[in-house]
Amino acid sequence: MNSSKNFPIWHPFTQHAVLPDMVHITGGEGAYLTTKDGRRIFDGVSSWWVVTHGHCHPKIINAIKEQAGRLDQVIFAGHTHDPAEQLAERLLELTPSTLNHVFFSDSGSTSVEVALKMALGYWQNIGNKDRTRIIVLENGYHGDTIGTMSVGERGVYNAAYEPLMFDVTSIPFPAPNDDDATLAALEKACKAGDVAAFIVEPLVLGAGGMLMYSPDTLGQMKAVCEAHDVLFIADEVMTGWGRTGSMFACEIAGIEPDIACYSKGITGGSLPLAVTLCRSEIFQAHYSTDRSKTFFHSSSYTANPIACAAAVANLEIWRDEPVLDRIAGLAGMQHEWLVRIGDDERFENTRQCGTITAMDLKVRDEGYLSNVGPKLYAFFQERNLLLRPLGNTIYVLPPYCTTQADLDNVYGAITDAAEAFA
């Protein structure tokens, strides 16, 4: 084995003993990355689900350049600036009418931590101190910080940290065409009376395996929470910004959350930024001349002006370009290929939500640590495709500028992979 001094950089979610060589990237344009050794790689995972319109969209890059020359960073406690003001105004126009306040942070995980703190702070400040429990959906993923791991699925990737995590109530993931057990468990948990909030990824559970459930079930879960006065937190960190076919997944179910988290595609995938939006009641519960009721949360780079300017540019692209048409076109092309994959008996559980498709390769050892995962990853790398299977689950989550030829190439390789590994 290599000595550890050969790895000055410790990469995320990377087992260096299995994957010693990093792919060295020098550029990005549209749906493609270029490597130091001169290859062009198709970015089939939108660089971990963040890139929406393609790499280095000129409007976003120009906005970053302009803002960088004007104001790089300023403390956001007691101060404000144009990019944050513009972004907040536009976000409140676009998002459900129940959401009236924007809290900035810098990653999806922190936007979820903020959501959880808002929920507990709300109940605490209105004098209902017993409401502290969080309900979660089985197989969920909300980040890798201690709090977000606590509300996510427990497994090999967080077992070592279990002693640091808090207790939650988990309800079963809905079975296909039968959500009775899920809704009954949610109802039972809500009735206990000690619940602060239910947190859920609407329609698609990303890192949990690209698992999908129906808008109807999402709507029913919202109704149960509403009936029991339980705050409904929508983690749209991955599903937001067009991924599921609408700008936000909650729109498809016709629901309006009490708290919502958005990140990943908020800057088109160019710079880290996140927001947590909430209802007036939650802000009001913290609004007081009693300073102990302050919302005690910040990070150094809260609402970084350059990141906010990138997000404003992203929203201008949404306003000025036919983004939803592009998404519908991509979803249609994805659908055609998925139908063909569905006829191939080496795959099962073919599924789609908007621009995302997923399929499970039939192998003997299934699951996240399935040995086929790293083999598939290497197989696609050799074909200049960036696909990062979750165990034996292959998913395709590409930028919206992806063409038919790109997809033909991707699914051709997926079919070849089945030949090699199924």
State the CB neighbour count (10 A cutoff) for residue 195.
24
Q: If we measure between CA atoms, which residue out of 282, 281, 214 comes closest to residue 253? A: 214
| Contact call for residues 397 and 264 (beta carbons, < 8 A) | no
Distances (CA, A) of 18 to 43, 100, 302, 392, 401: 22, 47, 37, 17, 33
CA 120 to chain centre: 23
Residue closer to ligand PLP by CB (options 195, 207) is 207
Q: What is the DSSP letter of 320?
A: H
Residue of this chain nearest to ligand PLP (CB atom): 108
Q: Compare residues 52 and 263 and give the one whose CB is closer to ligand PLP.
A: 263
Q: Which residues does residue 170 pair with via DSSP β-bridges, in sequence order?
A: 136
Contact between 137 and 205 under an 8 Å Cβ cutoff? The reply is yes
Residue 299 or 409 with smaller CB distance to ligand PLP: 299
> Which residues would be at the binding site for ligand PLP (CB under 6 A)?
107-109, 112, 141-143, 201, 206-207, 235, 237-238, 263
Among residues 28 and 272, whose Cβ is nearest to ligand PLP? 272
State the minimum distance, in angstroms, from the CB of residue 275 to ligand PLP. Answer: 12
Provide the minimum distance between the beta carbon of 205 and ligand PLP in the complex, in angstroms, as a whole number.
8
Closest approach of Cβ 70 to ligand PLP, in Å?
26
Q: Is the dihedral of CA 393, 399, 401, 406 positive or negative?
A: negative
Q: Which one-letter amino acid corresponds to residue 412?
A: G
Q: Smallest gap, in angstroms, from Cβ of residue 264 to ligand PLP?
A: 6
Burial of 120 per CB tally in 10 Å (0-12, 13-18, 19+): middle
Cα 53 to Cα 16, 142, 330, 410: the distances in Å are 31, 24, 12, 19
Shorter beta-carbon distance to ligand PLP: residue 269 or 305 = 269
Kindly tell me which of 205 and 282 has the beta carbon lying closer to ligand PLP. Answer: 205
CB of 357 to ligand PLP, least distance (A): 17
In angstroms, what is the minimal distance from the CB of 262 to ligand PLP? Answer: 10
Phi and psi torsions of 348, nearest 5°: -140, 170
Nearest CB to ligand PLP, comparing residues 107 and 370: 107
The CB-of-203 to ligand PLP minimum distance in angstroms stands at 11
Give least dist CB 413 to ligand PLP, A.
25
Cα–Cα distance for residue pair 205/360, rounded to 1 Å: 15
Which is closer to ligand PLP, CB of 205 or CB of 330? 205
